[in-house]
Structure 1
């Protein structure tokens, strides 16, 4: 690295972030600008119209879904049923990260679905190895890229030779992985760094990650909710009139929902299973290291079939997998929900939400994924 390059990413020194979110600072540090006082929320129909007519989704926020008592109860039951399975997947990913990256790794989760997973990975490594790795949550936006100021801050804080491991919750089409690949390449070219674009996830149904806990498209309970399971943070925002040259990408901290927050409930309940799953996680990770199953992007075949079958011209309207289908139902205008089978236990919350949103449900047993949400194309409105 040349001195000129070295100075480029080190100057100017970026200010330390202000505390945000409902996680303990020891669990997660959000590298985000607080936009809590800005009116950014738009109604679902208004936002959908704007997105499909050219406004970038990161310039506004959806109105946060306030779950019914029935839905919160379903979340609690789902968490009780799956906490051990989530703990095992988190353990496998943690073991792989340590083996691949080493003990000087900085955990960098992608806000916001990646944040709870980053907390779990940090806690597992602390429990199993008594190793307290730093964990930051930063923004990445499809069509705009990763927050380069956040990356610069991490490099300034920890040194350019530190290994960075990017973390997300799950893969859908693998779109964010593609954004990460491009963003890392551009950052490395510009600043002479050597960031690796590997994205660690709990579940990789898309087959687009080399570091994963499972490729099963199962329900990670944190996908059931929005801010109330992600540290009370909104989706991230990038708008020229709000985010300056030296600012991090923005987000809102929904402090007024502290009494409804389940963020720590989720990570606490899953973390309790770490002692029980640690040995199995280590063995499974060793198997994956000795007999790797590289990314094969198998999910793209589903996408092509759905595009052709339902005449969907914009691939961004197709959201495959349990996590992405949940997002469609919580904050977009759903048209059809495709499921592999009606008795799939991973889909109870999907079916509940689909009935609430009056989305059409179709059974497609040939799906690679458990389910897929299709956003209503604009020409179908009315």
Structure 2
């Protein structure tokens, strides 16, 4: 892969921070703004503004509080329960990346990992550490960045261009934690259309797996849209249970017009004492280094299968939902929606599944209705339906 652009300019990306991660773990390409400069909007008010179309969700934040003792306890249980699976999945993903890129990647042209902020960040950091492990059979030169992607508004083009300018000869892989309905995949695909012409200077940076193949990697891919995923199961990914305190203390990103610079974020310095970000990756990474199970080369897919699209259609019809953004599938997404949004009810595949303990606890605490629907919602274990607060747009 060679750069044909004589005007390529290198920006010192190291001046951007890494949240509460190590500088060697990631460079987060966000403009950090002061909490006091952001409108702290209560959940119910935010919901009405979003659904009426008066405000986009990326124009406001509900500032995060310290997680409750019960929330912390359930996170620790999930970490204990899922550490071997998470570590094994990371090792298999790293092994597969080595298999795919070992002939085209080297120290001069490292593999570029671009994590989608925020859910992709912990996964990207774990992959960066795995690929940097010279004692493993899958070490590979890589550089890791965190970049904002916002539904309806796309991947931050300023951040992506900074990466392309700094690594003109490197392939890029995009990383997210999991897929729900596949909305972020579609957002990413739309954002990358500008590079889709094979004559584009950066075509090979993005479409190294073939024209039209979006190189999205996830830990779990129930929606069936990722190019590479460790599994298609909806399971209790520990990092899915917390927000900023397992994502480098970074808030959900806020939109900025491209001419004004990078997307923005708040750094929650008030949550430093309850931050698990480094402890989480240290823990899973230590487990990965002790694994003795044989490594697996995982399958890759040229195009999305959208295997849950019919299910989402049926649920939308059954619950009279015209705005699909009100449907939040997967354990992680359902949990985050309860914490950040205003839910109407939770749909569960099983009344007693150990992976939905926190969800059920939060529902009891907030008097949110639960419907147990069995196999009908599989492969999802949980789906949150957001309350309709205004006319759907």
Mapped to 2, the partners of 1:2 and 1:114 lie a distance apart of: 28
Aligned match of 2:222: 205
Contact residue 10 and residue 165 of structure 2 kept, 8 A: no
Mapped to 2, the partners of 1:96 and 1:245 lie a distance apart of: 38
Aligned match of 2:94: 94
Q: Write out aligned runs for 1:126-205 (5 A).
A: 126-127=132-133, 128=136, 129-159=138-168, 161-189=169-197, 192-194=201-203, 195-196=206-207, 197-205=214-222
- After superposition, the Cα gap between the structure-2 partners of 1:7 and 1:139, relative to the gap in structure 1 and judged at 3 Å, is farther
Match of 1:42, SS state, is coil
Mapped to 2, the partners of 1:358 and 1:63 lie a distance apart of: 22
Aligned match of 2:124: 118
Aligned residues: 370
Aligned match of 2:272: 258
Q: What are the Cα deviations for residues 165-193 of structure 1, in whole angstroms up to 9, with x where unaligned?
A: 10000000000001111111124459532
Contact residue 20 and residue 30 of structure 1 kept, 8 A: yes
Aligned match of 2:211: none
Contact residue 10 and residue 166 of structure 2 kept, 8 A: no
23-32 vs 83-92, greater mean Cα deviation = 83-92
Q: Write out aligned runs for 1:1-382 (5 A).
A: 6=5, 10=8, 17-37=15-35, 38-54=37-53, 55-102=55-102, 103=105, 104-127=110-133, 128=136, 129-159=138-168, 161-189=169-197, 192-194=201-203, 195-196=206-207, 197-240=214-257, 245=259, 247-277=261-291, 279-280=293-294, 282=295, 284-285=296-297, 288=299, 295-365=304-374, 366-368=376-378, 369-379=380-390
Contact residue 148 and residue 187 of structure 1 kept, 8 A: no
Q: Which runs of 4+ in 1 moved over 6 A?
A: none
Mapped to 2, the partners of 1:105 and 1:40 lie a distance apart of: 38
Match of 1:298, SS state, is coil
Contact residue 34 and residue 252 of structure 1 kept, 8 A: yes
Mapped to 2, the partners of 1:341 and 1:2 lie a distance apart of: 52
Where does structure 1 lack aligned partners over 5 or more consecutive residues? none
Contact residue 113 and residue 169 of structure 1 kept, 8 A: yes
- After superposition, the Cα gap between the structure-2 partners of 1:191 and 1:358, relative to the gap in structure 1 and judged at 3 Å, is farther
How far did residue 142 of structure 1 move?
1.0
- After superposition, the Cα gap between the structure-2 partners of 1:360 and 1:11, relative to the gap in structure 1 and judged at 3 Å, is same
Mapped to 2, the partners of 1:188 and 1:138 lie a distance apart of: 20
- Hey, which of these two has a bigger chunk of helix by percent? 1
Q: What are the Cα deviations for residues 69-120 of structure 1, in whole angstroms up to 9, with x where unaligned?
A: 1110111111011111111111222222222234331111000100000001
Contact residue 318 and residue 373 of structure 1 kept, 8 A: yes
Mapped to 2, the partners of 1:257 and 1:379 lie a distance apart of: 33
Where does structure 2 lack aligned partners over 5 or more consecutive residues? 208-213
Mapped to 1, the partners of 2:303 and 2:88 lie a distance apart of: 20
For normalisation by structure 2, the TM-score amounts to: 0.88
